[in-house]
A and B are shown apart, each in its own frame.
Chain A
Amino acid sequence: MSMNSPKQTSHLKREILVRLIRAFLSDNFEENTRLIPYDMRPKGHEVPYRCCIYKEREILRDRAIAGLGASIEETDDSKLLSEVAKEALERTEPDSRPLTVLTTACKGCVPSRIYVTDLCQGCVARPCESACRFGAIKVTDGKSKIDPEKCKNCGMCAQVCPYQAIQKIIVPCENACPVDAISKGDDGHAKIDFDKCISCGKCVSACPFGAVHKKSQIIDILKCMKSGKKVIAMLAPAIMGQLPCTPKQLKQAILQLGFADVYEVAQGADVTTKTEAAEFVERMENGAEFMTTSCCAAYNQLVDKHITAMQPFRSDTKTPMYYTAEIVKREHPDAVTVFFSPCVAKRKEAMSNPNVDYVINYDELGAWMVALHVQVAECGESEFKNEASAEARNYAVTGGVAHAVQTLVPEEIPIHPVIVDGLNKQSIRDLKKYAKNGVCELGNLIEVMACPGGCLGGNATLNAYKPALKQLTNYVNESKSIVDLEK
Chain B
Amino acid sequence: MDKKISVKVCLGTTCFVMGSSNLQELIDTVPRKYGDKVEVEGVPCLGLCSIDWEFSKAPYVKVDDEVVKEATVEKVLSAIDAKLQ
**Considering the chains assembled together, what is the distance between the CA atoms of A335 and B45 in angstroms?**
35
B13 touches A244 (CB 8 A): yes
Q: B23-47: which have CB < 8 Å to A?
A: 24-25, 42, 44-45
**Considering the chains assembled together, what is the distance between the CA atoms of A463 and B58 in angstroms?**
15
B45 touches A366 (CB 8 A): no
- Tell me if A414 counts as interface (CB < 8 A to partner B): no
- Tell me if A462 counts as interface (CB < 8 A to partner B): yes
**Considering the chains assembled together, what is the distance between the CA atoms of A261 and B7 in angstroms?**
39
**Considering the chains assembled together, what is the distance between the CA atoms of A250 and B53 in angstroms?**
24
Minimum CB–CB distance for A49 against chain B, Å: 13
B16 touches A243 (CB 8 A): yes
Contacts of A369 in B (CB 8 A): 13-14, 17
B24 touches A374 (CB 8 A): no
Contacts of B13 in A (CB 8 A): 243-244, 366, 369-370, 374-377
Q: Which residue of chain B lies nearest to A12 when distances are taken between CB atoms in the complex? A: B56
Q: Which residue of chain A lies nearest to B17 when distances are taken between CB atoms in the complex? A: A366
**Considering the chains assembled together, what is the distance between the CA atoms of A10 and B16 in angstroms?**
12
A14 touches B16 (CB 8 A): no
Q: Which residue of chain A lies nearest to B12 when distances are taken between CB atoms in the complex? A: A375
A462 touches B16 (CB 8 A): yes
Minimum CB–CB distance for A370 against chain B, Å: 5
Q: 1/0 contact trace for A207-248 toward B, CB 8 Å?
A: 000000000000000000000000000000000000110000
Q: Is the interface of A mostly helix, strand, loop or mixed?
A: helix
Minimum CB–CB distance for A347 against chain B, Å: 20
- Tell me if A367 counts as interface (CB < 8 A to partner B): yes
With A370-B14, A376-B13 known to touch, is A463 a contact of B19 (CB < 8 Å)?
no
A375 touches B45 (CB 8 A): yes
B17 touches A367 (CB 8 A): yes
Contacts of B58 in A (CB 8 A): 370
Number of residues from B at the complex interface, CB < 8 A: 24
- Tell me if B64 counts as interface (CB < 8 A to partner A): no
Q: A1-60: which have CB < 8 Å to B?
A: 4-6, 10-11, 14-15, 18, 39-40
- Tell me if B11 counts as interface (CB < 8 A to partner A): yes
**Considering the chains assembled together, what is the distance between the CA atoms of A373 and B70 in angstroms?**
18
Q: A375-415: which have CB < 8 Å to B?
A: 375-378
**Considering the chains assembled together, what is the distance between the CA atoms of A366 and B19 in angstroms?**
11
Minimum CB–CB distance for B66 against chain A, Å: 21
Q: A339-377: which have CB < 8 Å to B?
A: 363, 366-367, 369-370, 373-377
A10 touches B19 (CB 8 A): yes
Q: Which of A11, A373, A375 contacts B18 (CB 8 A)?
A: A11
Contacts of B12 in A (CB 8 A): 375, 377
Q: Which residue of chain B lies nearest to A363 when distances are taken between CB atoms in the complex? A: B17
**Considering the chains assembled together, what is the distance between the CA atoms of A370 and B12 in angstroms?**
10
B19 touches A6 (CB 8 A): yes
**Considering the chains assembled together, what is the distance between the CA atoms of A99 and B16 in angstroms?**
25
- Tell me if A333 counts as interface (CB < 8 A to partner B): no
Minimum CB–CB distance for B13 against chain A, Å: 5
A18 touches B16 (CB 8 A): no
**Considering the chains assembled together, what is the distance between the CA atoms of A40 and B53 in angstroms?**
10
Contacts of A463 in B (CB 8 A): 16, 21
- Tell me if A192 counts as interface (CB < 8 A to partner B): no
Contacts of A366 in B (CB 8 A): 13, 16-17
**Considering the chains assembled together, what is the distance between the CA atoms of A375 and B58 in angstroms?**
14
**Considering the chains assembled together, what is the distance between the CA atoms of A367 and B58 in angstroms?**
12
- Tell me if A464 counts as interface (CB < 8 A to partner B): yes
With A375-B13, A376-B13 known to touch, is A370 a contact of B18 (CB < 8 Å)?
yes
- Tell me if A467 counts as interface (CB < 8 A to partner B): yes
Minimum CB–CB distance for A246 against chain B, Å: 14
Minimum CB–CB distance for A11 against chain B, Å: 6
**Considering the chains assembled together, what is the distance between the CA atoms of A375 and B14 in angstroms?**
8
Q: 1/0 contact trace for A462-479 toward B, CB 8 Å?
A: 111011000000000000
B24 touches A467 (CB 8 A): yes
**Considering the chains assembled together, what is the distance between the CA atoms of A462 and B19 in angstroms?**
8
- Tell me if B72 counts as interface (CB < 8 A to partner A): yes
Report which B residues bind A (CB closer than 8 A).
Answer: 11-14, 16-19, 21-22, 24-25, 42, 44-45, 49-50, 53, 55-56, 58, 70, 72-73
Known: A4-B22, A14-B18, A18-B55. 20 other contacts (CB 8 A): A5-B22, A6-B19, A6-B72, A11-B70, A40-B56, A243-B13, A244-B11, A363-B17, A366-B13, A369-B17, A370-B13, A373-B14, A375-B12, A375-B45, A377-B11, A377-B45, A462-B21, A463-B21, A464-B25, A467-B21
**Sampled A-B contacts (12; CB under 8 Å):** A6-B72, A11-B19, A15-B56, A40-B56, A244-B16, A366-B17, A369-B13, A370-B58, A373-B14, A378-B44, A464-B25, A466-B25
Report which A residues bind B (CB closer than 8 A).
Answer: 4-6, 10-11, 14-15, 18, 39-40, 243-244, 363, 366-367, 369-370, 373-378, 462-464, 466-467
